Structure 1
C-alpha cells in the first residue's frame, strides 16, 4: 500500500512566491514540482574525503541566474519600447 506524504504548509514572501512561480512556468513545472526540484538540488552533495560537502554550483543557482537574465532581457525590451 502506497502512502502519500503528508501535506506541508510553508510561508513565502510575495516576492519569493513570484520568483518561484516564474521559475515553475519557465521550467514547465507545477509550483510544487519547482519547489521540490529546488530543495532536492540544494541537498545534492559531493564526497570529499570522508566529508560530505555541498556542490559549488548547483542547478538551483544556474536556474536562478538564467531566470534573472530572462527578467533583465524582458525589462530592457520594455524600457526600449518606452523610449519611442
Structure 2
C-alpha cells in the first residue's frame, strides 16, 4: 500500500468513527483530519525522523481536532502508525 492509500484509509476510518460519535457532523474538523492523516503517514513512513517544525505542525493540527467536543477520544484511537 502506498502512502496516499494509507493516508486515504486513515481519513476514511477516522471520519466514519467521528460521524458515528458526533451528532452534528458539521462540527467534525474534516480538513484537519485529512491533513493530520497525511502528516501521520509521513511521520510513520519516516519512523519518526522528521523536523521539529513538522512535529509542531502535527501538534497544531491535533489541537484543531481535539478542540472539538467529543473528538479527543476518537483522535487518540487513530493517532497510531498503521501496522505493516
- TM surpasses 0.5: no
The structure carrying a bigger strand percent of its residues is 1
The structure carrying a bigger helix percent of its residues is 2
Larger radius of gyration: 1
